[in-house]
Amino acid sequence: MSATTTRTPIAPEKPATHKPGGTLYRGREGMWSWVLHRITGVAIFFFLLVHILDTALVRVSPEAYNAVIGTYQTPIMGLGEVALVGAIVFHAFNGLRVILVDFWSWATRNQKVLFYIVIALWVVTMLGFVPRHLMNVFSH
Protein backbone atom coordinates (compact mmCIF):
# COMPACT_ATOMS: atom_id res chain seq x y z
CA MET A 1 0.00 0.00 0.00
CA SER A 2 1.23 3.52 -0.79
CA ALA A 3 2.68 5.79 1.85
CA THR A 4 -0.01 8.42 1.38
CA THR A 5 -3.36 7.51 2.83
CA THR A 6 -6.78 8.96 2.16
CA ARG A 7 -9.24 9.89 4.87
CA THR A 8 -12.25 10.02 2.58
CA PRO A 9 -14.42 6.90 2.59
CA ILE A 10 -14.15 5.90 -1.08
CA ALA A 11 -14.88 2.38 -2.17
CA PRO A 12 -11.79 0.33 -3.01
CA GLU A 13 -11.39 -0.75 -6.64
CA LYS A 14 -10.76 -4.33 -5.62
CA PRO A 15 -11.56 -6.09 -2.36
CA ALA A 16 -9.02 -5.01 0.23
CA THR A 17 -7.16 -7.73 2.03
CA HIS A 18 -7.02 -5.52 5.14
CA LYS A 19 -10.34 -3.84 5.68
CA PRO A 20 -10.07 -0.49 7.48
CA GLY A 21 -11.57 -0.20 10.95
CA GLY A 22 -14.89 1.22 11.95
CA THR A 23 -14.20 4.86 11.13
CA LEU A 24 -15.83 4.69 7.71
CA TYR A 25 -19.51 5.43 7.25
CA ARG A 26 -21.05 2.23 5.99
CA GLY A 27 -24.59 3.36 5.32
CA ARG A 28 -26.32 0.57 7.19
CA GLU A 29 -28.95 0.58 9.94
CA GLY A 30 -26.41 1.35 12.66
CA MET A 31 -25.09 4.42 10.83
CA TRP A 32 -28.57 5.84 10.19
CA SER A 33 -29.55 5.21 13.78
CA TRP A 34 -26.49 7.18 14.89
CA VAL A 35 -26.94 10.01 12.35
CA LEU A 36 -30.63 10.47 13.15
CA HIS A 37 -29.96 10.34 16.89
CA ARG A 38 -27.42 13.17 16.51
CA ILE A 39 -29.53 15.39 14.25
CA THR A 40 -32.69 14.99 16.34
CA GLY A 41 -30.69 15.52 19.54
CA VAL A 42 -29.23 18.83 18.34
CA ALA A 43 -32.63 20.03 17.10
CA ILE A 44 -34.32 19.15 20.40
CA PHE A 45 -31.51 20.88 22.37
CA PHE A 46 -31.97 24.19 20.56
CA PHE A 47 -35.76 23.98 20.90
CA LEU A 48 -35.30 23.36 24.63
CA LEU A 49 -33.22 26.55 24.99
CA VAL A 50 -35.98 28.58 23.33
CA HIS A 51 -38.74 26.77 25.21
CA ILE A 52 -37.24 27.55 28.64
CA LEU A 53 -37.01 31.23 27.67
CA ASP A 54 -40.55 31.48 26.27
CA THR A 55 -41.98 29.72 29.33
CA ALA A 56 -40.05 32.14 31.57
CA LEU A 57 -42.29 34.91 30.19
CA VAL A 58 -45.03 33.77 32.62
CA ARG A 59 -42.90 35.58 35.20
CA VAL A 60 -43.06 38.82 33.14
CA SER A 61 -46.80 39.20 32.52
CA PRO A 62 -49.82 37.24 31.23
CA GLU A 63 -49.85 39.48 28.15
CA ALA A 64 -46.18 38.80 27.32
CA TYR A 65 -46.60 35.03 27.69
CA ASN A 66 -49.82 34.88 25.67
CA ALA A 67 -48.33 36.98 22.87
CA VAL A 68 -45.40 34.60 22.42
CA ILE A 69 -47.27 31.33 22.99
CA GLY A 70 -49.83 32.55 20.45
CA THR A 71 -47.15 32.22 17.76
CA TYR A 72 -46.94 28.49 18.61
CA GLN A 73 -50.60 28.15 17.61
CA THR A 74 -50.26 29.30 13.98
CA PRO A 75 -50.51 26.72 11.14
CA ILE A 76 -46.82 26.98 10.23
CA MET A 77 -45.69 26.44 13.82
CA GLY A 78 -48.27 23.65 14.08
CA LEU A 79 -46.39 21.83 11.32
CA GLY A 80 -43.14 22.65 13.13
CA GLU A 81 -44.56 20.95 16.23
CA VAL A 82 -45.18 17.82 14.14
CA ALA A 83 -41.47 17.87 13.20
CA LEU A 84 -40.46 18.51 16.82
CA VAL A 85 -42.58 15.69 18.20
CA GLY A 86 -41.31 13.43 15.40
CA ALA A 87 -37.72 14.21 16.42
CA ILE A 88 -38.46 13.65 20.12
CA VAL A 89 -40.27 10.34 19.53
CA PHE A 90 -37.43 9.01 17.37
CA HIS A 91 -34.76 10.15 19.86
CA ALA A 92 -36.71 8.54 22.71
CA PHE A 93 -37.28 5.15 21.07
CA ASN A 94 -33.82 5.00 19.51
CA GLY A 95 -32.29 6.01 22.86
CA LEU A 96 -34.02 3.03 24.47
CA ARG A 97 -32.63 0.90 21.62
CA VAL A 98 -29.12 2.19 22.38
CA ILE A 99 -29.54 1.22 26.05
CA LEU A 100 -30.72 -2.27 25.11
CA VAL A 101 -27.80 -2.69 22.68
CA ASP A 102 -25.39 -1.57 25.43
CA PHE A 103 -26.63 -3.86 28.19
CA TRP A 104 -28.22 -6.93 26.55
CA SER A 105 -26.20 -9.23 24.29
CA TRP A 106 -29.30 -10.37 22.37
CA ALA A 107 -30.01 -6.74 21.48
CA THR A 108 -26.38 -6.22 20.45
CA ARG A 109 -26.67 -9.11 17.99
CA ASN A 110 -30.08 -7.93 16.75
CA GLN A 111 -29.48 -4.18 16.63
CA LYS A 112 -30.65 -4.03 12.99
CA VAL A 113 -34.01 -5.62 13.83
CA LEU A 114 -34.35 -3.22 16.75
CA PHE A 115 -33.78 -0.26 14.39
CA TYR A 116 -36.77 -1.34 12.29
CA ILE A 117 -38.81 -1.82 15.47
CA VAL A 118 -37.92 1.79 16.42
CA ILE A 119 -39.11 2.97 13.00
CA ALA A 120 -42.35 0.96 13.34
CA LEU A 121 -43.06 2.34 16.84
CA TRP A 122 -42.31 5.84 15.54
CA VAL A 123 -44.86 5.42 12.72
CA VAL A 124 -47.52 4.11 15.13
CA THR A 125 -46.92 6.94 17.62
CA MET A 126 -47.00 9.61 14.91
CA LEU A 127 -50.23 8.13 13.49
CA GLY A 128 -51.73 8.65 16.94
CA PHE A 129 -50.38 12.17 17.36
CA VAL A 130 -50.42 13.92 13.98
CA PRO A 131 -54.14 13.76 13.08
CA ARG A 132 -55.17 14.84 16.57
CA HIS A 133 -52.66 17.70 16.62
CA LEU A 134 -53.48 18.96 13.13
CA MET A 135 -57.20 18.94 14.00
CA ASN A 136 -56.37 21.18 16.98
CA VAL A 137 -54.14 23.46 14.92
CA PHE A 138 -56.41 23.88 11.90
CA SER A 139 -59.76 24.14 13.72
CA HIS A 140 -61.09 27.23 15.47
Partner 1 sequence: MTVIESPRTPARPAPKRGVNLEKWGWIYMRASGVVLVVLVFGHLFVNLMVGEGVKAIDFGFVGGKWADPFWQWWDVLMLWLALIHGANGMRTIVSDYTNPGTVQRILKGALLLSTIVLLVLGTLVVFTFDPCPAGSPAELLPSFCPAA
- Select the span of 25-33, 57-65, 106-114, 115-123 touching partner 1 (CB under 8 A): 57-65
CA-angle at 103, arms to 100 and 109, nearest 5°: 70
Q: Please, are residues 84 and 44 in contact by the beta-carbon 8 Å criterion? A: yes
Which of 129, 47, 132, 131 has the alpha carbon at shortest distance from 89? 129
Cα–Cα distance between 9 and 1 in angstroms, integer?
16
Give the H or E element holding residue 86: helix 75-103
Task: Check residue 68 for interaction with partner 1 (CB under 8 A).
Answer: no
Regarding 61 and contact with partner 1 (CB under 8 A), the answer is yes
Regarding 20 and contact with partner 1 (CB under 8 A), the answer is yes
Radius of gyration, CA atoms only, the chain:
21
Interface with partner 1 (CB under 8 A), residue from 69, 120, 123, 124: 69
CB of 48 to partner 1, least distance (A): 6
Contact 33, 118 (CB under 8 A): yes
Among 65, 110, 111, 126, binds partner 1 (CB under 8 A): 65
C-alpha 73/C-alpha 133 separation (Å) is 11
Binding map of partner 1 across residues 104-133, x = CB under 8 A, - = no contact: -------------------------x--xx
Q: Point out which residues bind partner 1 (CB under 8 A).
A: 1, 5, 18, 20-23, 38, 41-42, 44-45, 48-49, 52-53, 55-56, 58-59, 61-63, 65-66, 69, 72-73, 78, 81, 85, 88, 92, 95-96, 98-99, 102, 129, 132-133, 136-137, 139
